[in-house]
Structure 1
């Protein structure tokens, strides 16, 4: 990856088209802080920025991946403590501002800037991720990080508060969901800082929170598509019984097709066992017939998935 300078950037894809003449002249008078095109909100409170960086417990040897650096208010604080920072920024104007902040300083050689969509770029090696996350990519960002190898040590991520609270939710609480379970299968998640909308320019319509995400190492030997496929069914109506959710239209047919495919792949004879009876048998054996997803923790869900696999029921 080439090191970015004011003349050269590492481009992950072509930048967005230039504004046309129909756009207001006022939107062009302050090109750096006109953030409407990418929906960006610049973190302006230096105390909050420092808390975020401090939460990462950076080491002098750390390589950091920063997502959405904006004008670099977090970046310059990260560079003070880390060995190297790769910043991924969607807006070329913001990328230029970040580089301008460090040009001619000892930190200049420690910074690479990639212009592009974080969901599409090739991620470099990193030990720590810090992100003032564009809210529209919150969920894809989390799962892209969790699927990245080698595993990073910690991620400090800012999200819309409601999304952050879903990530850290516990069973039997209103925000426990498929998202909560899927993330907590692979990581320990904690809410560490609540951030006021007034800490941004321009202020967003919502409050924000910063979470700490620490991957479980080694990750559980579970195929994510299987775990998520089961959760997609039972969390469709989390307060309904597990058995009731399996009776939803199309579920049994899908499971029957999956089972036939699995039996064929194992060179096993396709039988005429009713898929509905198999599901009922599994639910009875693990005592989940009347359980509800809203009250099941990750261990409960893993136990249920293993029981389904034992009878050849798969979800992907």
Structure 2
């Protein structure tokens, strides 16, 4: 039984098995082996000799070595100690060694170091939290060229009305410009993943829109809970009304405002939606401006989402 469990958790590729490396499925380890794809990703990053590059999940260092040849410094974040050893071994005794800084551990739990550009073949299970960790990081970076599962990449660039348009799309596009760069087939990796991949370029909006992101995130969370339903329907949910009622009372308390004796959160929400001409709108067809207008309408009436 233990043997089956071990085989399930790890895939062994013949070449790397000779080196004694087993790729861990729990970490989403699929090493990018095609040098053409690596070259293309580096070219799209428009790197400068003075840059500090952040690489997440460097694996055995195929991308890392190429990055080191082009920039001042690479900070590589790796969770797997075995791959850290491989990476160190690869640059040891070369002129590249002094330019490489390795951060060991879970990148989602660590504070990100300073960097100008991020280039990475991202472990797919951390895609969404990583995107927002990067976009909320300060100081701003210039751009990120990232490999994702194809459907995730398509969600990042989806427009209102598209089948894949979702909260991820609108939240990302509020904070950044996102462009699809290229498709990458599964045979470019070892071991091959079960899905196709795509590379995107993310450029943070600097300065960012003058909107509190936690407020925006709270609004879109409610709106996209049922993206095909009208907003009037989405905001009638008991749990939503209870949260907004609590937030309203807290807001009044913090600003020494009296709560009207006849205050009814459901009626207030309906009134704001009608006034903003949004009651019949559906999240799947709303663009950034629609959400900005709606958030302003709510906030100006003391209704908050965080």
How far the C-alpha of 1:39 sits from its partner, in A, is: 2.8
Structure 1 pair 30/237, CA: closer, same or farther in 2 (3 Å)? same
Q: Which residue in 1 is equivalent to 2:263?
A: 273
SS at match of 2:146: strand
Shift in Å, 1:37? 5.3
Partner deviation per Cα, 1:175-225 (whole Å, 9 max, x = no partner) = 111111111111111110111000000000000111101000011222222
Q: Which runs of 4+ in 1 moved over 3 A?
A: 26-30, 33-37
Q: Is 2:300 the counterpart of 1:310?
A: yes
CA distances 1:227-267 after superposition (whole Å, capped 9, x unpaired):
11111111111111110111123222221111111011100
> Matches of 1:123 and 1:229 in 2, distance apart?
25
Higher fraction of helix: 2
Cα offset for 1:36?
Answer: 3.8
Task: Check 1:164–1:258 CA distance in 2 against 1; reply closer, same or farther (3 A cut).
Answer: same
Q: Name the structure 1 match of 2:166.
A: 177
State the distance in 1 between where 2:52 and 2:23 align. Answer: 30
- Is 2:139 the partner of 1:144? no
Tell whether the 8 Å contact from 2:57 to 2:121 is kept in structure 1 after alignment.
yes
What's the offset of the Cα at 1:89? 0.7
Match of 2:23 in 1: 34
Question: Quick check: 119-128 or 146-155, which moved more?
Answer: 119-128
How far the C-alpha of 1:273 sits from its partner, in A, is: 2.3
Q: Deviations over 1:6-35 (max 9, x none)?
A: xxxxxxxxxxxxx99x857x9676432534
- Aligned-partner Cα distance in 1 for 2:103–2:192: 26
Question: 1:301 and 1:43 mapped to 2: Cα distance?
Answer: 38
Alpha-carbon contact 2:23-2:30 (below 8 Å) kept: no
In 1, Cα distance between the equivalents of 2:204 and 2:219? Answer: 22
SS of corresponding position for 1:250: helix
TM-score, length-scaled by structure 1: 0.89
For 2:118, what is the secondary structure of its paired residue? strand
SS at match of 2:86: helix
Q: Verify: 1:168 aligned to 2:154, yes or no.
A: no
Matching residue of 2:106: 117
The structure 2 residue matched to 1:298, chosen from 278, 284, 288, is 288
Contact 1:43 1:73 in 2 (8 A): yes
| Separation (CA, whole Å) in 1 of partners of 2:175 and 2:298 | 21
SS in 2 for 1:213: strand
Q: What does residue 82 of structure 1 align with?
A: 71
Q: Which residue of 2 aligns with 1:70?
A: 59
**8 A contact 1:67–1:88 mirrored in 2:** yes
Question: Does the Cα contact within 8 Å between 1:186 and 1:220 map onto a contact in 2?
Answer: yes
- Taking a change above 3 Å as real, the CA distance of residues 37 and 288 of structure 1, as seen in their structure-2 partners, is closer
Task: For 2:157 and 2:98, locate their aligned partners in 1 and report how far apart those are by CA, in whole Å.
Answer: 37
**TM-score computed with the length of structure 2 as normaliser:** 0.92
- Cα contact 1:49–1:74 (8 A) shared by 2: yes
Matched residue of 2:102: which SS? strand
SS at match of 1:142: helix
Q: Give yes or no for contact 1:185–1:298 (8 Å, CA) kept in 2.
A: yes
Shift of the 82–242 alpha-carbon distance from structure 1 to 2, 3 Å rule, reads same
